[in-house]
Amino acid sequence: MNLAELRPLLQPMIAQRWRDDLLPQLIEYVKVPAKSPAFDASWSAHGYLQSVVQSAALWAKSQEGLGGAQVLQGMQLEVIALPGPKGELTPCIFFDIPATGGLGAQDTIMFYGHLDKQPEMVGWREELGPWKPVVQDGKLYGRGSADDGYAIYSALTSLAALDAQGIRRPRCVGLIETCEESGSPDLPAYLAALAPRLGNVKLVVGLDSGCANYDQLWVTTSLRGLIGGTLSVEILNEGVHSGMASGLVPSSFRIVRQLLNRIDDVTNGEVLPAAFRAEIPQERIEQAHQAGAILGDAVWKHFPWVGCDHTPAGHAHAPKHSMPTTTDPVEGILQRTWRAALSVTGAAGFPQPDEAGNVLRPRSCFKLSLRLPPSVDGPWASKELKRILEADPPYNARVQFKSDHGASGWNAPPTAPWLTQLLEASSQSVFNKPSAAIGEGGTIPFMNMLGKQFPEAQFLITGVLGPQSNAHGPNEFLHLSYAEKLTEVVAQVVAGLGAQTTHID
């Protein structure tokens, strides 16, 4: 099949659906503060996760027969909420759509996405907000549509476009969860319950990743793991006059600094314990060189550096701005995709600056986030982090590290030649540019879980989180034209796999 010949058939319907249907749906989705359970302990009572799940499910069921074309016929779609030890688990959507064109049901394509969101974050531009959808310059601003509420809408639109044109495709199933931003703690239960219904998963399509530019298809080949938790240090029972005690009583903040120095080098951020390091596979190094050649300084320049107004370097009025750990594109890619990195993402025990007196605080508390190389086991690393931080506390302070859920990363299996050909052809067809591969610094626990369950499956992990999209941060946006084109790419890949499938019922 020549995928270029498919574009005139698929593109008009996909473009129309994005303009008239998907965008209005996502605008409504942005309005709902459907925060992941880690950021909303009362998620069940609030009902926001249930609301976005029900909205997506109702929309999905309405796709059958739209526009007079027979699409998604026989689709079974369920909203499932399994029982858990403390009540119902977070809800998920499962859909199962029969193959078309007489193809058999033994091989399946599995789609993945999630509908839960990160918390608000401060720093949004005045006209924007996390729950305030704004369409501006071809972007939908607001929390969650790019990460990754669009996934179920894009996936089913790609399949509907194929069905409307009578293009045969394999059986497709999908799992859309609502606790991904919390590390997917409920996902193993759903995978175990649904495993008999998934069939032989030949291809996994995950739409929760990123793109290094908006000019071509980017395929994610690895994802870092993530561990973290809350580190607290107590040295006094109550605050005391700093003039009377400082110099004799050690600062709880200084003790925290000592403990964090066990984890990384303060001068360059290099993570020190061998437990959190891993050898980078040669294939990933080669891919980093290829991606670095495409992106150049864009690897680091797209971040919002302090003092940067994008005046060309060397210009008489070019300001000095903050800089990355490296300006080498290849090293920059490896730093953010295959090397561990420690971040402090929250703090407690500190008064606001205008309320801070001359008091030596009794306690300091920090939220830690440690990204891990894709091949390091997350749960084991989480235990090791706790051991390192709590061992031999300075000044015999009370040190406690409360670990969060540890998530392992993922390293893709070798890409099969048939998938390589489809990815290249679809990128050329839609973008008129070759596809490219790159690792991502974020974590999708589902990939590691599914990789273990279906070791023979191939993976198309991709997404819309490109330059300045700022997932998890302020001013997050969905690049609408790229999302539309990515929907086309997925449709072409599914069609290509359908054309290669020989078993007919």
Task: Map residue 154 onto helix, strand or coil.
Answer: helix
Compute the distance between CA of residue 310 and CA of residue 241 in angstroms, rounded to an integer: 47
Note whether residue 477 is domain-resident.
yes
- pLDDT the model gives residue 444: 85
Q: How many CB atoms lie within 10 A of CB 131?
A: 14
What is d(CA 111, CA 205) in angstroms, rounded to the nearest whole number? 5
Angle (CA) 313-317-322 rounded to 5° is: 55
Among 407, 426, 455, identify where a domain stops: 407
pTM: predicted TM-score of the whole model, two decimal places: 0.88
pLDDT reported for residue 313: 53
Q: Are residues 24 and 138 in the same domain?
A: yes
Q: 378-419 pLDDT, tens per residue?
A: 999 999 999 999 999 999 999 999 998 788 999 999 999 999
Of 407, 432, 465, which closes a domain?
407
Would residue 74 count as lying in a domain?
A: yes
Spatial distance between the Cα atoms of 35 and 48, rounded to a whole number of angstroms: 8
Q: Indicate whether 322 belongs to any domain.
A: no
Does residue 464 share a domain with residue 396? no
Q: Quote the pLDDT of residue 311.
A: 53
Q: At 249, which CATH number? A: 3.30.70.360
pLDDT of the residue at 316: 52
Whether residues 97 and 239 share a domain: the answer is: no
Domain match, 401 and 252 both: yes
Count the Cβ atoms, other than its own, within 10 Å of residue 111: 27
Measure Cα distances from 274 to 222, 256, 404 in Å. 20, 21, 21
Above pLDDT 70, what percent of the chain? 95
398 lies in the same domain as 418: no
Q: What is the DSSP string of 406-441?
A: -B--EEPPPPPHHHHHHHHHHHHHHHSS--EEEEES
Residue that terminates a domain, selected from 407, 426, 460: 407
Helix (H, G, I), strand (E, B) or coil at 193: helix
Q: Is residue 52 part of a domain?
A: yes
> Quick one: tokens of 191?
């995978």
**Alpha carbon distance 470, 474 (integer Å):** 7
Measuring CA to CA, which residue among 149, 138, 146, 173 is closest to residue 159?
173
Residue showing tokens 């000044």: 395
Please name every residue paired with 348 in a beta bridge, in sequence order, or none if there are none. 365
Distances (CA, A) of 437 to 56, 146, 424: 30, 20, 11
Helix pair 150-164, 48-61: axis angle to 10 deg: 10
Cβ-count burial 13-47 (b if 16+ within 10 Å, e if not): bbbebbeebbbebbeebbbbbbbbbbebeebbeee
Instruction: Count other C-beta atoms under 10 Å from residue 209's C-beta.
Output: 23
Q: Which domain holds residue 21?
A: 3-223+409-500
**Do 420 and 345 have their domain in common?**
no
Task: Find all residues with CB under 8 Å of 291, minimum gap 6, and list them.
Answer: 212, 329, 333, 436, 437, 438
Largest CA distance in the chain: 85
CATH of residue 67: 3.40.630.10
3-class secondary-structure state, position 346: strand
Same domain for 233 and 110, yes or no, is no
For 191, 197, 218, 303, 423, the CA distances from 97, given in Å and listed in that order, are 18, 12, 27, 40, 23
In a domain, 288, yes or no: no
Q: What is the rounded radius of gyration, in angstroms, for the C-alpha atoms of the chain? A: 24
Determine the pLDDT at residue 156.
97
Structure tokens at 346: 């929250």
How many Å separate Cα 454 from the centre of its chain?
21
- Sheet with 477-479, strands from edge to edge, namely 134-136, 139-141, 477-479
What interhelical angle do 150-164 and 7-17 show, nearest 10?
A: 140
Give a yes or no: residue 324 inside a domain. Answer: no
Q: Do residues 143 and 117 make contact, with C-beta atoms less than 8 angstroms apart?
A: yes
Same domain, 135 and 263: no
Q: How many residues does the chain have?
A: 505
| 419 and 387 belong to one structural domain | no
Do residues 486 and 464 lie in contact, with contact meaning Cβ atoms separated by under 8 Å? yes
Spatial distance between the Cα atoms of 274 and 157, rounded to a whole number of angstroms = 46
pLDDT of residue 106: 80
Residues 172 and 87 reside in one and the same domain: yes
Flag residues of the chain having pLDDT under 50: 504-505
Q: Which residue's structure tokens are 């998890």?
A: 472
The 10s digit of each residue's pLDDT in 83-139 is: 999 889 999 999 999 999 999 888 999 999 999 999 999 999 999 999 999 999 999
Residue 358 and residue 269 share a domain? yes
Q: Is residue 457 part of a domain?
A: yes
DSSP annotation string for 244-260: HHBTTBPPHHHHHHHHH
Q: What one-character DSSP code corresponds to residue 277?
A: -
Can you list the alpha helix ranges (DSSP code H) found in 140-249? Answer: 150-164, 187-198, 242-245
Look-up of token digits 């090397």 = 339
Helix or strand (DSSP H, E) at 301: helix 298-301
Q: In this predicted structure, what is the pLDDT of residue 497?
A: 95
Is there a single domain that holds both residue 452 and residue 396? no
Q: How many domains does the chain have?
A: 2
DSSP 3-state percent helix, strand, coil across the chain (nearest 5): 40, 25, 40
Residue 265 within a domain: yes
- Which residues make Cβ contacts (< 8 Å) with residue 210, sequence separation at least 6? 218, 220, 440, 442, 463, 464, 465, 466, 469, 471
